[in-house]
Structure 1
């Protein structure tokens, strides 16, 4: 089924268009990089659509608002964990101005860049990988519930309980991606489409 989806010419065109958007993000300003970082903080334990809606509502509060102001807007959008995520967003500002430096590390070593991002409160392996992929780095897997659902017929343990487990599943995805002649970050888009019918993220 996956091979058939990957071979669909119209879908491939849409995926490649999305990939080009990620690559354009790479050349964007630090503000755009920070906005994507906040999106990934908001995406953790939430739907992408909910996180994106919350980010749109926040606007420049992500840069200047207090934790209380940010929390208030998040509550108004119906976002989960508004107080906790507001604190994470405010704390993440200490990384503003350093994100493109992490990008320069990713130009040479995406795994090392992901390690650096794990210092940002509110980011785990999945969110750090998501951030880097959205900034045009395609060699990391974003293992979320859709990917786990894709694996559901083959996995007894469907939770990512440790860093080791994440890396094991990432290695499996790399093997599948290699067989399909795709970067693992692009394979993720096809699997997401297969499970949701959408190309978003």
Structure 2
């Protein structure tokens, strides 16, 4: 069994959040005989690996549900500034560590630059974030995109879409710095995109291990992204792990934590 199955859940790393972490390592034994039988997926599946992920899901399910409840609360109770902070976080994440990007967003909020700073001022706070000059300009552009009559209006704009897939399309087409992965990540993190795939390298690697896809592609066109998303949705239904759980499950399997 892979050694990176850990017991760990991480909340939002700010002063007002409650955070639970357990460094204790957990090893899950594979089910002795394969209980999984593929039916609907056309690509060759890996029953042993699927049994392992089903066991890991049983172990992580409550922690994943708790994290998803945190995300849903952001949409239910958060202000437009909270929603925009999550958007800015997802703009920073490409080719950068989430654990580096979120503290940068917190710094920008504390000093007021996230909502009022210039691209140059924002760039100065993006320490250890790759492509910080470009991403700082993307944050300012997104802020302008979501400002109506001098006020951030993230909620009213996103609330106008009939479903998260339509919202994602609009984000990809209108917000600089957002591809399908980042747009889906943002919507999931504010409780609106639980059925969307967030295809980063960790997820793609594990989908290949499970046999959902033949291999993890080096790059993704729109067509390829949506094709893999369909396969992931079909796999999710077949094995009985909700899409929202599957993303966090595979991410935690690879990184050892449930974060954002």
TM-score under structure 2 length normalisation = 0.71
Deviations 1:41-67 (A, max 9, x none): 011221111211221222221111111
Greater Rg over alpha carbons, structure = 2
Report the aligned-residue RMSD: 1.6
User: Is the contact between residue 105 and residue 112 of structure 1 (CA under 8 Å) also seen in structure 2?
Assistant: no
Matched, 1:131 2:182: no
Match of residue 121 from structure 2: 69
Alpha-carbon shift at residue 39 of structure 1 (Å): 0.4
1:151 aligns with 2:203: no
Alpha-carbon shift at residue 7 of structure 1 (Å): 1.6
Superposition deviation, residue 135 in structure 1: 1.0
Confirm whether residue 12 of structure 1 aligns to residue 61 of structure 2: yes
| Post-superposition CA distance 1:3-59 (Å, at most 9, x none) | 111122xx2111111010011011211111101000000112211112112212222
- The correspondence for 1:88, drawn from 138, 154, 171, is 138
Note the C-alpha offset of 1:98: 3.5
Q: Where in structure 2 are the equivalents of 1:22-171 lying within 5 Å?
A: 22-27=71-76, 28-59=78-109, 60-74=112-126, 77-94=127-144, 95-96=146-147, 97-106=152-161, 108-118=162-172, 119-137=174-192, 138-153=194-209, 154=211, 155-156=214-215, 158-171=217-230
Unpaired segments ≥5 residues, structure 1: none
SS of the aligned residue for 1:158 comes to: coil
Q: Distance in 2 between matches of 1:93 and 1:158?
A: 32
| Structure 2: unaligned runs, 5 residues or longer | 1-51
179-188 or 53-62, which moves further after superposition? 179-188
More helix by share: 1
Instruction: Give the count of matched residue pairs.
Output: 196
Q: Distance in 1 between matches of 2:222 and 2:153?
A: 25
Q: TM-score, normalised by structure 1?
A: 0.91
